[in-house]
């Protein structure tokens, strides 16, 4: 009996130590869970930044609206064959309303032949220059006090494709058809002549003194 008690005591001590060891291992587990939670929390702010970047990209690629240049201006001249209306009833010097259409453009040798046919004393085009004849159809719609409308070549200017104005006024004798006076209700056709640089494609401006005038293309 005396030998049994020491054995039992040893077993009790061993069991007690085993229990302590098991408890220490289980208490270490929460440390791993806390670390995992911290990792998740630190990664979550990255996802919240993404929408801001997306918004910036969308705003930078947003389409920009732009209006087309006004018709009848230098950047958007009236095309050959198209009709435009000039209403000068509110102006000081050009109180009438007319419709204008470029119906024909003749240049080079063909234009020179028409000029020579008008009058054999008409000047030939200088070296590096050529004649251009722009035919207008004009329909007179109205005028202040029903006065006659004086239409002549001096109302037109030629501007080169590069934007340089041709200052020389060209007078061609005997040119037919020619612009002339007309009353409301009348219609006329007439050539407007000019000397331009060879190969140029100028615009023609009607009444530039009125808000820059009406611009017509020649090709």
Domain count of the fold of the chain:
1
| Distance between CA atoms of residues 188 and 135, nearest Å | 10
Classify residue 49: in a domain, yes or no: no
User: How many other CB atoms are found less than 10 A from the CB of residue 218?
Assistant: 20
The answer to whether the pTM exceeds 0.75 is: no
Residue 74 lies in a domain: no
In a domain, 101, yes or no: yes
CATH number at residue 212: 2.60.40.1240
Cβ burial 57-74 (10 Å sphere, 16+ → b, else e): eeeeeeeeeeeeeeebbe
Residue 22 included in any domain: no
Pairing state of beta strands 83-87 and 187-197? unpaired
Do the domain assignments include residue 92? yes
- In a domain, residue 114? The reply is yes
From the list 136, 151, 137, 135, the residue with the least C-alpha distance to 183 is 151
Residue 44 lies in a domain: no
The answer to the question of residue 4 being in a domain is: no
**Which domain does 205 fall in, by range?**
83-216
pLDDT tens for the 219 residues of the chain, in order: 444 444 444 444 444 444 444 444 444 444 444 433 333 344 444 444 445 554 545 545 555 657 889 999 999 999 999 999 999 999 999 999 999 999 999 999 999 999 999 999 999 999 999 999 999 999 999 999 999 999 999 999 999 999 999 998 899 999 999 999 999 999 999 999 999 999 999 999 999 999 999 999 999
């Amino acid at each position: 009996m005396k030998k049994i008690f020491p054995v039992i005591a040893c077993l009790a001590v061993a069991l007690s130590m085993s229990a302590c060891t098991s408890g220490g291992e289980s208490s270490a587990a929460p440390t791993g869970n806390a670390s995992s939670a911290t990792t998740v929390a630190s990664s979550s702010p990255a996802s919240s930044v993404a929408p801001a970047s997306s918004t910036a990209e969308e705003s930078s690629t947003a389409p920009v609206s732009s209006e087309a240049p006004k018709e009848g201006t230098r950047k958007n001249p009236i095309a050959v064959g198209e009709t435009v209306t000039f209403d000068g009833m509110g102006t000081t010097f050009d109180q009438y309303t007319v419709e204008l259409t470029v119906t024909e453009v003749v240049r080079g040798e063909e234009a020179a032949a028409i000029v020579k046919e008008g009058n054999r004393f008409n000047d030939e085009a200088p070296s590096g220059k050529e004649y251009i004849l722009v035919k207008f159809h004009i329909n007179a719609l109205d005028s202040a006090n029903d006065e006659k409308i004086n239409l002549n070549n001096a109302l037109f200017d030629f501007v080169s494709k590069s934007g340089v104005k041709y200052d020389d006024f060209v007078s061609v004798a005997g040119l037919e058809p020619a612009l002339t006076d007309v009353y409301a209700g009348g219609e006329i056709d007439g050539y407007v002549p000019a000397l331009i640089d060879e190969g140029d494609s100028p615009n023609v401006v009607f009444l530039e003194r009125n808000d820059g005038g009406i611009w017509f293309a020649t090709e």
